[in-house]
Amino acid sequence: MTEPFRVAIAGLGTVGAGVVEILQSNAAQVAMRAGRPVEIVAVNARDKAKERGVDVSAYEWVDDAAGLAGVEADAVIELIGGSDGPAYDLVKAALAGGKHVVSANKALLAHHGTELATLAEGHGVSLNYEAAVAGGIPIIKAAREGLAGNKMSAVYGILNGTSNFILTKMRESGRDFDDVLKEAQDLGYAEADPTFDVDGVDAGHKICLLASIAFGVQPEFNKVRMRGIREVTSADINFAAEFGYRIKLLGIAKDRDGLINITVEPCLVPEATPLGTVENAYNAVVVKGDFVDTPLLTGLGAGRGPTASAVVADIIDLARGLHVPTFGIPAKALKKPDFIDPATIKQHYYLRLTVTDQPGVIADVSAILRDHDASIESMVQHGRDPGQPVSVVLVTHDVKRGDIEAACEEISKLKSCLEKPYLMRIEHQL
């Protein structure tokens, strides 16, 4: 009889319990696809008495997460979370001890990916993390293996389901951010502290990892520019629709002749494009390769089932004996990325101004834009209310980011400008 592939699981929260459920319920199917049985030998969590909806009584209970590195197992499954602390300690110890690791921990890989990839290869084991990016979408496998023959110039997409849900509901209901955020929290889409989701950090971790695979570079999370969706208003969504766009929080990584740009920010995308039609808690990822153009993968990006499914897929790969370098190429071959100055990149922009409705305001704004090499493609203002605040929205032609940001800074100093100008990039080429 073929020896079972033994796993030890750290973390029995939503995803961890889902992994246990799959391995128990679909044991025969998993064994057939893995070529041998997959057996849970030990588990760890903070509260042994907690009801999780799965029976873990048959497995060795290890009180200290790091202790799982010493269990007789072939792989450790890290589902604790966090870029440091117990997760980091466990993964390092497991790799150093010659055990494979499967993780759903995007933050850990974004902060320590090069170190951990080097450690894994030095001890002849694998570090798999399909579940860390886009839940049930097999984007890591697609980029690292399925598209390995391509030179990739861009990877981008909707990488946070919570933000996409909020933006969808704002558009459908006309409500503002705070109201829809509360609904998302009530439904379990958003955490009590939604910072990582709505401020772009979660998507930043994910696009950092995708960029490393796509471009063969070391992950450097501190170089990812991030801006979330807190300042997006229902008025912005309505104005965007008038111009034929929808607002999406996008993670975007592009290689411009060897210079890398990685950003997370709300963008206007044409509503009829594939990304423009992705709604609610769904994710979508596009990889641009020189021989495949722009394949798009879409699906649920989080949740017990999709994320646990991705973890089990990684376990099956390891049980089969399929071992791929962490970022698709040997860790020693990962280049230190050279980053482009974002101020030099040209884009179309959406610019919302809140100004006093009085003669000469648009002339003043136009003069400032002209002085910063920015020209207006179109403009919308609804109604007249002399002497009162009014929203004016401008769409620019291509302009360098540094120039339009400098123009916004100068516009904000006008007496007629009542709020800080709000700027979003327009992505026509996605």
Residues recognised as catalytic: 206
Residue 87 parent element (H or E): helix 86-96
Measured from the Cβ of residue 339, the count of other Cβ atoms closer than 10 Å reads: 14
Say if residues 81 and 65 touch (Cβ distance below 8 Å): no
- Residue 426: phi and psi, rounded to 5, are -110, 125
Contacts of 403 (CB under 8 A, 6+ apart): 343, 372, 373, 374
Contacts of 356 (CB under 8 A, 6+ apart): 387, 388, 389, 390, 415, 416, 418
CA angle 160, 165, 169 (to 5 degrees): 155
What region does 210 belong to: left with phi over 0, alpha with psi -120 to 50, or beta? alpha
Measured from the Cβ of residue 282, the count of other Cβ atoms closer than 10 Å reads: 19
Q: Is 354 exposed, middle or buried (0-12, 13-18, 19+ CB in 10 A)?
A: middle
Measured from the Cβ of residue 49, the count of other Cβ atoms closer than 10 Å reads: 5
Strand partners, 349: 425
Q: Quickly list DSSP for 173-191.
A: H---HHHHHHHHHHTTSS-
CA angle 319, 320, 325 (to 5 degrees): 90
* Angle between the N-to-C axes of helices 201-215 and 106-122, in degrees from 0 to 180, rounded to the nearest 10: 30
**Residue from 228, 254, 292 nearest 424 by CA:** 228
Q: What is the rounded CA–CA span in Å between residue 205 and residue 219? A: 9
